[in-house]
């Protein structure tokens, strides 16, 4: 009998190969030949599933978002401390290890494609807003009001984006350890400076900030 091919699994396999290629060599390394070789398939097989480099990058971008969401859910299911839960939804999107550095490279490479493409821009916005919602929900758990949590969440994600760009552009002068330290400090300052439930947040931040 002919072998049954799981096409969704094959697409994911190729997208994951693209993620590894970008992680090692940056967006300039993303070629159909390179991804096919990484996946162990021919360029013909790759072309059957992805018509273009941009389609492949979109698939890798969606995979990054999915993988991060899976990790967040797993860690959140084991953590009850509200401040540490804020840290979980931030840190899983931060380039703090080899895997997350690769994911950050794919994320920002994809964002470079969205200008002038409404469909890609909508995809990027949906993923970002979903992340923001998770952060805001965790901030409410940590004591912020529902009114102030979305703005505080945007500040945190904007700060993380800036740190991530610095690290990706100049890792020799701004390391993942420095990013980790600065993000923790800024998260603590956001929790402490918010007007709602300040005393509660301060006590939790002091006692519970992850180290």
Domains belonging to the chain, first-starting first, are 7-208 (1.10.357.10)
Nearest residue to 149 via CA among 157, 139, 134, 158 = 139
What is the model's pTM? 0.84
Instruction: State residue 211's pLDDT score.
Output: 53
Instruction: State residue 156's pLDDT score.
Output: 98
86 CB-near residues (< 8 Å, 6+ apart): 135, 138, 139, 141, 142, 187, 191
| Segment 17-73, tens digit of pLDDT | 999 998 888 888 899 999 999 999 999 999 999 998 888 989 999 999 999 999 999
Distance of CA 7 to the CA centre of its chain: 25
Dihedral sign (CA 101, 176, 166, 131): positive
pLDDT bracket for residue 152 (50, 70, 90): very high
Answer yes or no: is pLDDT of 102 > 50.
yes
The rounded distance, in Å, linking the Cα atoms of 170 and 143 is: 36
């Amino acid at each position: 009998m002919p072998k049954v091919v799981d096409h969704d699994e094959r697409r994911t396999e190729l997208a994951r190969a693209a993620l590894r290629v970008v992680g090692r060599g940056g967006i300039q390394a993303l070629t159909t030949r390179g991804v096919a070789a990484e996946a162990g398939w021919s360029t013909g097989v790759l072309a059957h599933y992805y018509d273009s480099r941009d389609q492949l990058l979109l698939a890798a971008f969606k995979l990054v978002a999915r993988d991060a969401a899976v990790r967040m859910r797993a860690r959140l299911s084991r953590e009850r401390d509200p401040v540490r839960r804020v840290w979980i939804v931030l840190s899983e999107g931060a380039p703090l290890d080899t895997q997350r550095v690769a994911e950050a490279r794919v994320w920002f490479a994809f964002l470079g494609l969205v200008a002038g493409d409404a469909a890609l821009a909508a995809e990027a916005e949906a993923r970002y807003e979903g992340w923001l919602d998770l952060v805001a929900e965790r901030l409410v758990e940590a004591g912020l009001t529902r009114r102030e949590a979305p703005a505080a969440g945007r500040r945190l994600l904007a700060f993380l984006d800036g740190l991530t760009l610095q690290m990706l552009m100049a890792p020799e002068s701004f390391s993942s350890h420095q990013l980790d330290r600065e993000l923790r400090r800024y998260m603590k300052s956001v929790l402490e400076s918010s007007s709602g439930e300040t005393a509660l947040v301060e006590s939790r931040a002091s006692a519970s900030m992850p180290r």
